Structure 1
Amino acid sequence: MERPLADRIRPKEIKDIIGQEHILGEGKILNRIISSGFTPNMIFYGPSGVGKTTLAYIIAEMTNKRFHKLNATTDSTKDIKEVINEINTFMGYKGILLYIDEIHHFPKRTQQILLEFMENGQITLIGSTTENPYFYVFKAILSRATVIEFKPLENRDILLGLERAIDILRGEYTHKTIDFEREALEIISNGSQGDLRRAINVLELMIKTSSKNEVTINKELASQLTQNNFTYDRDGDKHYDIISAFQKSIRGSDPDAALLYLAMLVKAGDLSTIIRRLLVIAAEDIGLAYPQGIAIVKACTDAALQLGFPEAQIPLAEAVILLATAPKSNSAVMGIGSALDALNNYNIGDIPIHLRDGHYKGAKDLGRMEGYKYPHDYPHHYVKQQYMPNSLSNKKFYIPGNNKYEDSIEKYWLEIKNKSK
């Protein structure tokens, strides 16, 4: 059975690894670890197809350790115990490097089995995960391991990998002439979303499925094979990263970036997340700088719910552009946050007696509402009286934002309150 091309061209030395300069460059963390000859327990965290497994193979080779690879989606506790049984045998006398792909899929109990052997150095663990290890990997494992984050490869790295793959394929398929259009490789690179393995698999498919002896990797075929390559997991890191970037872009008044992240959520069909986030943003980030914003956003999101995709994307885009270009104020979220903080940190005491409910028999005997002044009986519907509990009588929770609407409201009330003195 022929191994996949991505496996056949896997680098054998560190110098042949593509990308990851932030960890493999001179003086960077993984470069220092490899150069030292000391291999700690590590968690490789990052997307698929960026070199995590390859580096684990190379590290095992350089340290002369017995290499075992398990996959947490298909292997079990029994497989881990079989590796452990090798510790005191001839095969494992130089030490064992255990690589567990997608380690976050192992339940906590299975991960715990490794702790004793990691602690005494009989097993060096390298776990890899596409999910944030601080959420998904057992804390005791994390405390004994160094987390190394891998990044998606850049287009120039993918292009380099594709050119290397073509050179290897030319050597393997000597009966074929393999040529390529540079634009086609760029299309494959863009469609791979930073995953070199995915790009190489597309390339291999194009060549293997061609019945001609003269194969040209052209942009038309490349476009067909790289459509719909955007990946999205509603329960994974990428989901939370996208909605975080979505809100931050609107808060930062960048409609173009906001539309890009909206497009990601639209392509994923995640209507409920979009609607919830837009309503939150309208209140949290735009707030009183443009009070009508939340009403308009509610109308747009209601329209989106009625329309459904694909038409829903139009009112959603309208809401995003409106919020991104609107003036900003976080006075509401800061105000309620400050009030909640007061509840946690102060003895609030009683509500002033003149504000308490007096609409029941006997309330008057208890002094309820005594001395209350009805604002509508006074000029401008305002009269000065105490509303705060005594312990917080001088406390301010609402600080007006620096925007046209809140400035005008602040000036209005300063004038009214000055007149009532």
Structure 2
Amino acid sequence: MSGLSEILRPKNFEDVVGQEHILGEKGILKLAIEKDSLFSAIFYGPPGCGKTSTLEVIKLNTSYEVYHFNAAITSTAEVKKILEYAAKVKDVKKILIFIDEFHRFNKKQQDIFLPGVEAFDYVLIGATTENPYKMVNPALLSRVRLVAFKKLQKEHIIKLLEKAVNVKKVDINENAKDFIARVSNGDGRFAINLYEILSDIAISIDKKIIDEEILQIYSSDENRVYTAKEHYNLASAFIKSIRGSDPDAALYYMARMIEGGEDPRFIARRLVILASEDIGLADPMALLVATSTAQAVELVGLPECMLNLSQCVIYLSLAPKSNSSTLAIQKALEVAKDTMNLDVPRDLLNIPDSGYKNPHKFGGFLKKSYLPKEISDKVFYTPKSIGKEKKNIEILETLWRGVKQYDDKS
């Protein structure tokens, strides 16, 4: 950890950013700390969101004797010594055992905590970035509380950067703030460390501000970071290439983003959106491919996840394109905004004797509009004669012939 990160460790509740739901007014963790009565828990959330930093607040605001371990470098034999000590002094001292990277202890190793947690010999807090339902022993999980830490948003990263500027006295312009907030992807620790690197570069050339010149120097040195402008330009070209069914161009722009240091999770999220926005019902499998790719990116990480992304990009590029579901929700939203006061038809209410007619009693379909009568003639979804969606035209026309028109006018 850099010196600046250590200096910026929170000392009180106000210093912790982005976790108001647990450390703000009436937050469950804040109340426990204020009462000096902690509970065993698993802190889980993405990297750099404040899980370990919260320990500093606990140390400074409670009477617990704290033992801090990291499961990645600590043996269970070392931990056992403290567990035995805690059992001996439980009547005279309050002991907190805080373990970072808790998931690094396998489920069998985690068994060592069961007796002490159940006997209240100590308070155990395990911090993890992994899904606790998969990585934590179920028997232990049933004896602790799960405390979810949220990913930091851009405004939280900016707040951390402002604190860093107050300490190091090297200013930062808006473009540089945007760059750090974007590449840090909600990781406050990464953001502070990157700010420290950039500020050191600025100081080395007698500058007191991090600006485009400093970003360019950093980019040249690291050969991996690109500017905020390039991020938006390349992302735009990437999406438009897939929409235009050009896999070569799409792969090229994706390669530039990855070489520039783009988070592959950002790319995966964009693919999931595109799968519904631009392909939709022309190939419903596209969404499954994209979401599976996003899961693979989380599981595998760089560099291997580039293979998953490449497969997905090629599939989406060559899939038939339809934006009918996108247009449908846009039309529905427009009408909804203007008709928020319309009553739901009585026969659709969950009340006795509403008059509802169950389609199953009429062969599976009843030719009746379910919209409020004032807008019963509205059509939001118009299928296109593309790919698998062509079948939807036939289905809708068969069901609603003489009532609604579903001609593809695109």
Fold shared per TM-score above 0.5: yes
The residue number in structure 2 matching 1:78 is 77
CA contact (8 A) 2:275 2:316 kept: no
Identify if the C-alpha distance between structure 1 residues 116 and 179 changes in structure 2 by more than 3 Å, giving closer, same or farther.
Answer: same
Taking the aligned partners of 1:242 and 1:137, their CA distance within structure 2 comes to 31
Tell me, yes or no, if the aligned pair for 2:2 and 2:193 is still in contact at 8 Å.
Answer: no
2:188 to 170, 185, 196: 196
Kept in 1: contact 2:171–2:208 (CA 8 A): yes
1:114 aligns with 2:93: no
Given the alignment of the two structures, is residue 408 of structure 1 paired with residue 400 of structure 2, yes or no?
no
| 2: CA distance, partners of 1:216 / 1:94 | 49
Contact (CA 8 Å) 2:36, 2:63: kept in 1 or not? no
Q: Return the letter of the residue paired with 1:316.
A: L
Q: 1:409 to 1:116 in 2, by over 3 A?
A: closer
Superposed CA RMSD: 4.4
- CA change 1:272–1:165 in 2 (3 A) is closer
Identify if the C-alpha distance between structure 1 residues 63 and 410 changes in structure 2 by more than 3 Å, giving closer, same or farther.
Answer: closer
Q: How does 1:22-421 map to 2 (within 5 A)?
A: 22-87=21-86, 93-170=92-169, 178-209=170-201, 210-222=203-215, 224=219, 226-227=225-226, 228-231=260-263, 270=305, 273=308, 313=313, 316-319=316-319, 322=321, 325=324, 405-406=391-392, 408=394
The C-alpha deviation readout for 1:61-105, integer Å capped at 9, x for no partner, is: 322111111111111111211222332567994221111111111
Shift of 1:151: 1.3
Shift in Å at residue 162 of structure 1? Answer: 0.8
Greater shift in the superposed pair: 67-76 or 92-101:
92-101
Query: 2:305 and 2:16 mapped to 1: Cα distance?
Result: 36
- TM-score of the aligned structures, taking structure 1 as reference length: 0.58
- Aligned residue pairs, count: 297
The question of whether the paired residues in 1 share the 8 Å contact of 2:19 and 2:150 is answered with yes
CA contact (8 A) 2:40 2:125 kept: yes
Distance 1:247 1:21, change over 3 A: farther
Q: Is contact 1:50–1:194 with CA below 8 Å preserved after alignment?
A: yes
**2:9–2:56 Cα contact (<8 Å) kept:** no
Deviations 1:231-268, CA, capped at 9 Å, x for gaps: 569xxxx9999998787778977x9xx79989976986
Corresponding residue number in structure 2 for 1:366:
none
Match of 2:360 in 1: none
Q: Is the 8 A contact 1:98 1:126 kept in 2?
A: yes
The SS at the match of 1:68 is: strand
Q: Is the Cα contact below 8 Å between 2:176 and 2:210 reproduced in 1?
A: yes
Question: Structure 2: which amino acid aligns with 1:194?
Answer: G
Residue type of the partner of 1:199?
Answer: A
Question: Counterpart of 2:180 in structure 1: which amino acid?
Answer: I
In the TM superposition, what is the alpha-carbon distance from 1:207 to its structure 2 partner? 2.5
Alignment-derived partner of residue 344 in structure 2: none
Shift of 1:205: 1.1
Tell me the alpha carbon deviations over residues 379-414 of structure 1, each in whole angstroms, 9 at most, x when there is no partner.
Answer: xxxxxxxxxxxxxxxxx999xxx966256369889x
Using the aligned pairs only, state the percent identity: 30
What does residue 390 of structure 1 align with? Answer: none
Q: 1:317 corresponds to which letter in structure 2?
A: S
1:351 alignment partner in structure 2: none
**What do residues 176-234 of structure 1 show as CA deviations (whole Å, max 9, x unaligned)?**
xx33322212211111101111011011112234423433211343362655555569x
Answer whether contact 2:171 2:210 (CA < 8 A) is retained.
yes
Query: Quick check: 2:99–2:127 contact (8 Å CA) kept in 1?
Result: yes
How far is 1:14 from its partner? 1.1
Q: In the superposition, relative to structure 1, how do residues 130 and 314 fare at CA in structure 2: closer, same or farther (>3 Å)? A: same
For residue 149 of structure 1, report the CA deviation from its aligned partner: 1.0
Indicate conservation of the 8 Å contact 1:104/1:129, yes or no.
yes
TM-score by length of structure 2 reads 0.60
C-alpha contact 1:69 1:100 (8 A) present in aligned 2: yes
Question: Counterpart of 2:205 in 1: which secondary structure?
Answer: coil
Q: Which residue of 2 aligns with 1:5?
A: 4
Q: 1:166 to 1:146 in 2, by over 3 A?
A: same
Write the distance in 2 (CA, Å) between the matches of 1:154 and 1:15.
17
Alpha carbons of 1:84 and 1:397: their partners in 2 closer, same or farther (altered >3 Å)? farther
Flag the 1:95–1:412 CA change in 2: closer, same or farther, 3 A. closer
Q: Note if contact 2:280-2:321 (Cα within 8 Å) is conserved in structure 1.
A: no
Structure 1 counterpart SS, 2:85: coil
Amino acid at match of 1:146: R
Letter matched to residue 101 of structure 1: D
SS of 1:197's equivalent in the other structure is helix
CA shift digits 1:275-311 (9 cap, x unpaired): xxxxxxxxxxxxxxxxxxxxxxxxxxxxx76xxxxxx
SS at match of 1:186: helix
How far apart are the structure 2 equivalents of 1:263 and 1:217?
A: 36
Consecutive unaligned residues of structure 1, counting only runs of 5 or more, are: 171-177, 275-303, 306-311, 328-395, 414-421
Unaligned 5+ segments in structure 2 are: 227-259, 327-362, 366-381, 384-389, 400-410
8 Å CA contact 2:48, 2:190 repeated in 1: yes
Pairwise CA distance, 1:316: 3.0
